[in-house]
Amino acid sequence: MYILAPSLLAADFKILGQQIEETERMGAEYLHIDVMDGTFVPSISFGMPVIQSIRDISGQFFDVHLMITDPIRYIKEFAECGADGITFHLEAAKDPDAVISLIHELGLKAGMSIRPGTPLEAVYPYLDRVEMVLIMSVEPGFGGQTFMPEAYGRISRLRRQIDGNGYRVRIEVDGGIGKKNVQEVIAAGADICVAGSAVFKKRSISENISYFMKAFEEQGNGEVGKK
Ligand code: DX5
Ligand code: ZN
Q: How does pLDDT run across 167-195, given as a tens digit for each residue?
A: 999 999 999 999 999 999 999 999 999 99
pTM (predicted TM-score) = 0.96
Question: Residue 113: what are its φ and ψ, rounded to 5°?
Answer: -120, 155
* DSSP character at residue 149: T
Q: Are 53 and 76 in contact (CB under 8 A)?
A: no
User: In whole angstroms, what is the distance from residue 70 CA to residue 10 CA?
Assistant: 25
Choosing from 44, 138, 201, 202 the residue with most ligand 1 atoms within 8 A of its CB, the one to mutate for a pocket test is 138
Which atom number of ligand 1 is nearest to the Cα of residue 9?
9
pLDDT digits 0-9 by tens, 23-69: 999 999 999 999 999 999 999 999 999 999 999 999 999 999 999 99
DSSP 7: B
Query: For residues 175 and 194, what is the distance between their CA atoms, to the nearest angstrom?
Result: 7
Q: How far apart are the CA of 138 and the centre of ligand 2, in A?
A: 10
In this structure, are strands 85-89 and 61-67 parallel, antiparallel, or unpaired? parallel
